[in-house]
Structure 1
Amino acid sequence: MQDVVLVRIYGNKTELLVDRDNEVKSFRVLQAHRCAPALYCTFNNGLCYEFLQGTALEPEHIRSQPVFRLIAGQLAKYHAIHAHNGWVPRSDLWLKMGKYFALTPKHFSDPELTTEVPSPRCLREELLWLQQHLCQLGSPVVLCHNDLLCKNIIYNKEDGNIKFIDYEYAGYNYQAYDIGNHFNEFAGIDEVDYSQYPGRGFQLMWLRSYLEAYKEHKGQATNVTDGEVETLYVQVNKFALASHFFWGLWALIQAKVSTIDFDFLGYAVLRFNQYFKMKPEVAALTLPE
């Protein structure tokens, strides 16, 4: 087991969804900051890298002590990696969502579920609303993982550390998106249950832990005010909407191109349903004065 390497082969048509050059670039940056395993080689349709010892987590693990604090600390470490040469990073979230929207198929083979998929016109209106609403929140653009589901979190109990794997979607994005996306993943994938989305009390603990680590990595004073936690709470829950929307569009495309045996269309419907369910409550949240 000490000499195991991991070889990953890209799936069918995944280049429509993933920028492979960007994936390797993110991998190298993260490796340079000791946040990723060693990358041994890349080839046309895959990668070979170091195998990380540990356990891929399940939804019940990520809310437990000390695991959630380790996750918050590791994500803070990612977010504190500074863009070099004074370059000011920009998020490509809206560009990517626009691209995904253009790729979504108009017809599906399952007529029952098709009626539950929002219409292209509805999706376009929501995408516009999201961009206008979320761009005003002032969430900083940082280096994000962007796909922090349980299976991408490796916990090494012996060493007491957490590492993230899978950098297909990594890149510069809004800080609050990365955290909101992780909170959405508390619901799991195989048996999705959005009642598991973390409540306000847990979120405030998690966010305070994250902000302390983030400030420490940035070389700032680590005292965190209630106002800072509350601001991040509002930003994160609003950006959780964008995460539902993003993966909803993603799943619609996968429903057409993927060869994996998974109900992508059903998953898309789940994500969009949760988006519309969350939207009124989340849209009403306001940033503290």
Structure 2
Amino acid sequence: MSQLDSDLDRLACLAGRSRHVTDLPGGLTNHNVRVRTDDGGDYVVRCSHGDAGLLGIDRDAEHHNTVRAARAGVGAQVVEYRPDLQMLVIEFLPGDVLTDDSFADPDVLARAAGAVRRLHGGPRFDGDFDMFARRASYLATVVSRGLPLPRGYDDFEDAWSDVRRALEAAPRPTVPCNNDLLAANFIDDGGRTWLIDYEYSGNNDAAFELGNTATECGFDVARTEAWAEAYFDDVTRADVARVRVQALCSAYGWSLWGFIQAAVSPFEFDFYDWGLVRFEKAAAVFRGPDLANLLTEVARG
């Protein structure tokens, strides 16, 4: 904590202010702390660690996109950005951190979908996010470093190419996306939902955003359909199919993030198992009976 205290002292927003610091749970690439000052300030300081470039994280883009998410009315206000200290300071958002089970409540589901729509309708982000390019980069890192992959990971290369062709057959405009909307990145105060953590943000297919949440939160088909219905004004079969296919893309691509982190992260966490869970989700879809029909629906647009 002595190094953290020293770094906090160097932040302009905290200089000369008495404060109370508490750790915040979560965060697999950052150490997050809540800082409350005696004069009423309430902040979250994101302290970055590790090799951000290895994971494809652009801290400057994260900062810019966090500012733009706040302008869209869904993100916390940025208070200070200090790349020299690897710190980003944002306002603390009061509310409940969602869990996977939270989405069983139709009101929560609707508020969360509304927040995603507001983000997607807000200012364009710095940079683009394409899971096909991201996965290729991650896989190159895995191969170059000789990192272990689960048995059968390479069995789905042809099917992965089929998925890409189907999505490209009916392209959609990109919108500003968080790209990492697991349950813990939704903050809900009972009347409004906020979205946090823009490390992997970039302009992307809206369906990837929805599919990412669907797979991260363990949605079954029925809840995935309800999630799509809550987001789209007039949902179509192609919309739902695209969300389900992008959920597959999220699980298959992000699994590699876990395998890389297992080798390089300073955090004590079972990253390999984290990646394995996502790979097994993807493998089940690749091997399942629905993929061919989903790809046909997606390609029809």
Deviations 1:200-253 (CA, angstroms, capped at 9, x unpaired): 3x33333222113xxxxxxxxxxx2xxx43221010011111101121111111
Aligned to 1:116: 150
Aligned to 2:210: 179
Q: Which runs of 5+ in 1 are unaligned?
A: 109-113, 188-196, 213-223
Aligned to 2:140: 102
Q: Give 1:5's match in structure 2, choosing from 28, 34, 43.
A: 43
> What is the deviation of 1:100?
1.4
Q: Is structure 2 residue 179 aligned with structure 1 residue 146? A: yes
Q: Does 1 or 2 have the higher relative contact order (CA < 8 Å, sep 6+)?
A: 1
Matches within 5 A, 1:186-225: 186-187=217-218, 197-200=219-222, 202-212=223-233, 224=234
- Identify which range, 268-277 or 125-134, moves more after superposition: 125-134
**Pair 1:66–1:76, CA change in 2 (3 A):** same
What RMSD, in angstroms, separates the aligned Cα atoms of the two structures?
2.5
> What is the deviation of 1:134?
2.5
**Pair 1:203–1:115, CA change in 2 (3 A):** closer
**Pair 1:3–1:91, CA change in 2 (3 A):** closer
Contact 1:143/1:173 (8 A) holds in 2: yes
Q: Which runs of 5+ in 2 are unaligned?
A: 1-35
Q: Give 2:239's match in structure 1, choosing from 232, 243, 246.
A: 232
Q: State how far apart, in whole Å, the 2-side matches of 1:245 and 1:155 are.
A: 28
Q: State how far apart, in whole Å, the 1-side matches of 2:292 and 2:270 are.
A: 30
Q: State how far apart, in whole Å, the 2-side matches of 1:118 and 1:10 are.
A: 33
Deviations 1:240-285 (CA, angstroms, capped at 9, x unpaired): 1110112111111101111111111122222112111112322332
Aligned to 1:192: none
> What is the deviation of 1:145?
1.2
Contact 2:72/2:121 (8 A) holds in 1: no
Aligned to 2:90: 49
Contact 1:207/1:233 (8 A) holds in 2: yes
**Pair 1:203–1:270, CA change in 2 (3 A):** closer
| Aligned residue pairs, count | 254
Aligned to 2:292: 283
TM-score scaled to structure 2, two decimals? 0.76
- Identify which range, 124-133 or 25-34, moves more after superposition: 124-133
Q: Which amino acid aligns with 1:174?
A: D
TM-score scaled to structure 1, two decimals? 0.79
Q: Give 2:198's match in structure 1, choosing from 167, 174, 191.
A: 167
Q: State how far apart, in whole Å, the 2-side matches of 1:90 and 1:12 are.
A: 22
> What is the deviation of 1:73?
0.8
